[in-house]
Structure 1
Amino acid sequence: MRYQKAQGFRIIRRMIYTIEGKLTHRAENFVVVETGGFGIKVFTHVRGMSVLPAPGNNAKFFCHFHLREDAMELYGFVSQKELELFESLISVNGVGPKSALAILGIDTLENISAAIKENRPDLLRRASGIGGKTADRIVLELKNKIISEKSESFVGKMEADSDLVETLVSLGYRREQAKAALAKVDEKVAGLEGRLKAAFKVLGKK
Structure 2
Amino acid sequence: MIRHLRGLLLRRSPADVVVDVGGVGYGLAISLATYDRLPEEREEAEFFTYTHVREDRLQLFGFAEEAELSMFELLIGVTGIGPTSALTVLSGIPLNALRTAIFEERVSDLAQVRGIGKKTAERVVVELKDKIRGTSAEARPGEGKGVASAVQEATMALIALGFQAPAARKAMESAQKKYGGEATVQELIRHALRDR
Q: TM-score, normalised by structure 1?
A: 0.63
Q: Which runs of 5+ in 1 are unaligned?
A: 1-12, 151-206
Structure 1 SS opposite 2:92: coil
Deviation per CA, 1:129-185: give whole Å up to 9, x if none: 1111111100000011112249xxxxxxxxxxxxxxxxxxxxxxxxxxxxxxxxxxx
Of the three residues 101, 113, 120, the one matched with 1:115 is 101
Distance 1:63 1:128 in 2: 23
Q: Which residue of 2 aligns with 1:148?
A: 136
Distance 1:22 1:94 in 2: 35
1:109 is displaced (CA, Å) by 1.3
Identity, in percent, stands at: 41
Residue 40 of structure 2 corresponds to residue 19 of structure 1: no
Residue 41 of structure 2 corresponds to residue 55 of structure 1: yes
Structure 2 SS opposite 1:143: helix
1:27 is displaced (CA, Å) by 2.6
Distance 2:99 2:114 in 1: 18
Q: Which residue of 2 aligns with 1:104?
A: 90
Deviation per CA, 1:9-50: give whole Å up to 9, x if none: xxxx2xx11100011011331000001111100111112112
List, as ranges, runs of 4+ consecutive aligned residues in structure 1 with deviation greater than 4 Å: none
Please list, as runs of the form range in 1=range in 2, the aligned pairs for 1:75-94 lying within 5 A after superposition. 75-94=61-80
Distance 2:83 2:73 in 1: 9
Q: Which runs of 5+ in 2 are unaligned?
A: 139-196
Distance 2:56 2:101 in 1: 34
Name the amino acid aligned to 1:133. Answer: K
Structure 2 SS opposite 1:144: helix
Distance 2:137 2:35 in 1: 26
8 Å contact kept, 2:14–2:30: no
Q: TM-score, normalised by structure 2?
A: 0.67
Structure 1 SS opposite 2:115: coil
Distance 2:14 2:26 in 1: 16
Structure 2 SS opposite 1:136: helix
1:56 is displaced (CA, Å) by 0.6
Q: Which residue of 2 aligns with 1:201?
A: none
8 Å contact kept, 2:9–2:41: yes
1:107 is displaced (CA, Å) by 2.7
Distance 1:107 1:28 in 2: 15
Structure 2 SS opposite 1:145: helix
Q: Which residue of 2 aligns with 1:70?
A: 56
Name the amino acid aligned to 1:148. Answer: S
Q: Which residue of 1 aligns with 2:118?
A: 132
